[in-house]
Amino acid sequence: MKIHARLLATAAALAVLTAAVHGQTLKAADVHPAGYPTVVAVESMGKKLDAATQGRIKFQMFPGSVLGGEKEMIEQTQVGAIQLLRTSLGPVGPVVPEVNVFNMPFVFRNPAHMRAVIDGPIGQEMLDKISASPARLVALAWMDGGSRSLYTKKPVRKPEDLKGQKIRMMGNPLFVDTMNAMGGNGISMGYGEVFTAIQTGVVDGAENNPPSLFTANHFQAGAKYYTQTNHLIIPEILVMSKVTWDKLSAADQALVKKFSREAQLEQRTLWDQYVVDSVAKLKAAGVEFIEIDNKPFFDATVPVRAKYGAQFADLMKRIEAVK
């Protein structure tokens, strides 16, 4: 009987220990595949947390949309089923309208300007607003989502060259209006449909960053010209479930914040190299990169910024003033 009781006690102790360890296992998720800069940076953050807490806080990464699309994963993060999530800003906009200012065309002069903004007071204010909102998400850090430019079957050097061209845009009226203002015909379409649409002529091109053009093989569908308009430079965010955050001690919260900030900077270094590698591979595959003066495109989109940015006028002035 004593042995039986001891076995029961040991089993109970192990159950408690397992529950304690499991309770501190952070499930992290991303739609991007393993090896992608955002995934690698968050995995690195997890290793640091594990080491700093002597294994008390474990970490598990779920890349490549295995836990769903961004909308589903945000919902899971809000209830605490996912603890850490890298997401685009689109789904956050309905809850925290101010983040929509980053979705506007040419709100950033170039990627360096975007980074200066997210690294400074405006970036911190945005994170704080998301954390204080009803979204039940704690915004920890920014990630570089790349700079979006045009890729087409025919070379584009000025707005007039886009006349009559159907260009795929993300499903948001703001983005469709942006392309229409730039001289093309914006077509809202799912990302998975773009390859066939370019190949069959349903659209004449699309817009994205070089790594996306390369990994989605859209250049093989016929989009051989990459015009560096940099019309959209949209950061992404790393968030934690508020359910999880509230269970952490102040010391653990401080560690999470510290390592999140380090992940923000690590992802940037990884991203820059990722872009360089993608551009080299695209050039080797025959894609022509066209450098342009983007001022005509900037001027053409003034009405779009006026229409969608009226409520953010002061914020936009502050963004513009960042050096």
Residues 6+ apart with CB under 8 A from 318: 122
- Label residue 131 left, alpha or beta by phi (over 0 means left) and psi (-120 to 50 means alpha): alpha
Domain extents in the chain = 2-145+235-277, 147-233+282-318
Q: What is the pLDDT of residue 223?
A: 97
- Label residue 168 left, alpha or beta by phi (over 0 means left) and psi (-120 to 50 means alpha): beta
Q: What is the pLDDT of residue 24?
A: 82
Q: What is the pLDDT of residue 228?
A: 96
Q: What is the pLDDT of residue 13?
A: 35
Reading the chain (323 residues) residue by residue, the pLDDT tens digits are 444 444 444 343 333 333 333 448 999 999 888 999 999 999 999 999 999 999 999 999 999 999 998 889 999 999 999 999 999 887 788 888 889 999 999 999 999 999 999 999 999 999 999 999 999 999 999 999 999 999 999 999 999 999 999 999 988 899 999 999 999 999 998 888 999 999 999 999 999 999 999 989 999 999 999 999 999 999 999 999 999 999 999 999 999 999 999 999 999 999 999 999 999 999 999 999 999 999 999 999 999 999 999 999 999 999 999 99
What's the rounded Cα separation, in Å, for the pair 287 and 151? 9
Mark 264-281 as b/e (b = at least 16 C-beta within 10 Å).
Answer: bebbbebbeebbeebbeb
- Label residue 47 left, alpha or beta by phi (over 0 means left) and psi (-120 to 50 means alpha): alpha
What's the rounded Cα separation, in Å, for the pair 151 and 212? 11
Distances 242 to 92, 137, 138, 186, 256 between C-alpha atoms, Å: 15, 5, 6, 37, 13
User: Do the bridges between strand 58-62 and strand 25-29 make them parallel or antiparallel, or are there none, so unpaired?
Assistant: parallel
The architecture in CATH of the region 147-233+282-318 reads 3-Layer(aba) Sandwich (3.40)
Residues 6+ apart with CB under 8 A from 208: 146, 148, 149, 151, 216, 218
Same fold, 2-145+235-277 and 147-233+282-318: yes
Bridge partners (DSSP) of residue 137 are: 241
What's the rounded Cα separation, in Å, for the pair 12 and 247? 23
- Label residue 186 left, alpha or beta by phi (over 0 means left) and psi (-120 to 50 means alpha): beta
Amino acid at 154: K
Class of domain 2-145+235-277: alpha beta
